[in-house]
Structure 1
Amino acid sequence: MTDKLSKAQKRRLRQEEKAQVQKAKAVKLLSGVENLATKTVKIAPIPELDLKIVKVQEQPDRTKSVYIPSEEKFSFDCNLTWCTTISDLEGEWSWKEQRRWTEEEWNTQILLNFSLLEKSTWSEILFEHKTPAKGDKSVPKHHPQELTTLVKEAQTRWIEIGLEEYDTAFRFRFTGTIRAWGIKLQGHFYLIWWERYHNIYPV
């Protein structure tokens, strides 16, 4: 009859069994690493990239950020259109007049006057809208104006805001001394300055 194992012997036996199990796991793990080292790793080929060619225009149509069309194919029978996309609203004139109009001026003067003009053709604006002149005569109320006839400050500012290629402005005359200066191209008017005191072209 086999003698019973003491507690110490049982503990030592369990430790040996555990050590054998760990050794077996280590051998198995090492074997797996060796097999991995001998395997060939396949790398998928790099696909060809579908490259898009970006065309760069060598000579842009305009050097300025604002494109203004030419006077070609202008019809006097078309109605006036207008905008403030290139209006000069920064700073003030030397006679302390702000270039930026107020909200009240926009609503009660600018928008009102040009909304009325939108109902007229350019033929009517240029040839039928008249204002009294000396000697019981009448002259066009709205008309082109050579830049050289404006005060020097206005001529300089015209160049500063990038309009030097245009040597003729267009002037709308409103109530009293109020004037609207800009560029007329085709049937469109680009409002540049809203003037209150008639100092840009003093009489």
Structure 2
Amino acid sequence: MGNDKKNTKKVPSAAVPTEPSRVPRRLQGVAVPGEMDEQHPVWRIALLDRDHDGSWSWKITDQTLIKIVDFMATMERLTWREIRQMQTGGDRRRGPKHKSIPRNHLCKEAQERLVELNLDDFDELFRFRTGNMERLWGVLIGDNPRIFYPIWWDPEHKVCPSADR
């Protein structure tokens, strides 16, 4: 019994956070917990399909990479509600700019690739529209926080082409 003090390791005071809930000033307005619609996007890149070289791929220029990173930085300052409320198109073709798409609406190549990646258990993918034709495809996982895992960069709208293209 007298050895209890000897077995207890002392934690240096520098290792104990003094402000456990502190959010760096640069990230304020980005990492806010709460309801999913009021949360800001969180990104993880573990599911990037860097090996695919078909109708779309991650073989991109430095300029394109900067464009994607800038886009993601802009999106993470918005809440999921704000992102889902964004609209695109004119009066005739008005619709959500960023949205979930059922897996069976994707082109055959994309559906087959999801099987190869063992990602075919997702019923839908989420896509960000980053330009006229450009799309960033991935999956949403979790509710608190809601994490977007990008899978594909689709610069020519090939993963899920519109019916009129």
**TM value normalised by structure 2:** 0.70
The equivalent position to 2:149 in structure 1, one of 172, 176, 190, is 190
Matched letter for residue 75 of structure 2: L
For the residues of structure 1 that align with 2:75 and 2:57, how far apart are their CA atoms?
A: 25
Displacement of 1:138 in angstroms is 2.4
Correspondence for 1:114: 72
CA contact (8 A) 2:57 2:152 kept: no
Correspondence for 2:89: 132
Residue by residue over 1:9-67, the C-alpha shift from the partner in whole angstroms, topping out at 9 and shown as x without a partner, is xxxxxxxxxxxxxxxxxxxxxxxxxxxxxxxxxxxxxxxxxxxxxxxxxxxxxxxxxxx
Matched letter for residue 79 of structure 2: T
The sequence identity of aligned pairs, in percent, is: 29
1:100 equivalenced with 2:100 (yes/no): no
**TM value normalised by structure 1:** 0.58
CA contact (8 A) 1:90 1:100 kept: no
Q: Tell me which protein shows more helix as a share of its residues.
A: 1
Runs of 4+ more than 2 Å apart: 97-104
- Structure 2: which 5+ runs fail to align? 1-33
Correspondence for 2:125: 169
- Structure 1: which 5+ runs fail to align? 1-72
For the residues of structure 2 that align with 1:103 and 1:74, how far apart are their CA atoms?
A: 36
1:89 equivalenced with 2:50 (yes/no): yes
Q: For the pair shown, which has the larger CA radius of gyration, 1 or 2?
A: 1
Correspondence for 1:35: none
For the residues of structure 2 that align with 1:162 and 1:74, how far apart are their CA atoms?
A: 29
Higher RCO (CA < 8 A, seq sep 6+): 2
